[in-house]
Amino acid sequence: MLFIDPSSHDIGRSTTSAPAAFTPSVRWGMALDAEDFQLSPTASSEVFSFHMLGSGSRMLPSYWDLRSRIFCEEQHLFEDSDRDELDASAYPIVAVSHSHARAGEAVGVVRIVELSPRLWQGGRLGVDADFRRHNQIGKGLIWKAVTTAHGWGCDRFLATVQRQNVPFFRRLHWRSLEQLDIRGISHHLMEADLSYYRPSLERRPIAQAA
């Protein structure tokens, strides 16, 4: 989720997850490693890439804007802002488009936060409305979130998932723990099967983005 900034060129290099035909490069001032194109154990794409954002990343305004558009303007889950106390210690992640029309833009978001030692939670998962036909964006964001936390010592990874998205998460090796009502919308508290999500080699940053 790190570091798409040139200063972090040595982060996120994993030879085990690289598509065979991909050559690392730099685009729009962002370092793109082979691991960034990993969507799942069985699929990879050069259409989108997935990155954690450091505190000085130029993509942070786009991250906050997309979150606001999805959770405030579209879903009306929040009135003025969807930011909360968890954002102070959360690690933001974006999906970046590589298509010609919107190349270099953030088209998906998620955050991860360590609630207590080795217990992690994902949240604020969303995809730009123009890109929702590409279900690999959601899959890639989930994969990036869970494998990164797993690499940082996560023993359990949880998320609250809107009811209509529960089947999608189950296909990605998550199980439902309980049903919840959040802001009048039905959710499931779900847990990832960490045996499916191998630990990433991405380094944990010293300072989180805020």
Residue 9 · residue 203 · CB < 8 Å: no
pLDDT in tens, 177-189: 999 988 788 999 9
Q: On the CB side of 55, how many CA atoms lie within 13 Å of its CA?
A: 10
Query: And the tokens for 201?
Result: 């080699």
pTM: 0.79
Query: Residue 99: enclosing H or E segment and its boundaries?
Result: none
Q: Which domains does the chain have, with CATH numbers?
A: 59-192 (3.40.630.30)
User: At 45, is the pLDDT very low, low, confident or very high (cuts 50, 70, 90)?
Assistant: low
User: At 15, is the pLDDT very low, low, confident or very high (cuts 50, 70, 90)?
Assistant: very low
Query: And the tokens for 105?
Result: 């833009």
Amino acid occupying residue 130: D
Name the DSSP letter for residue 140.
Answer: H
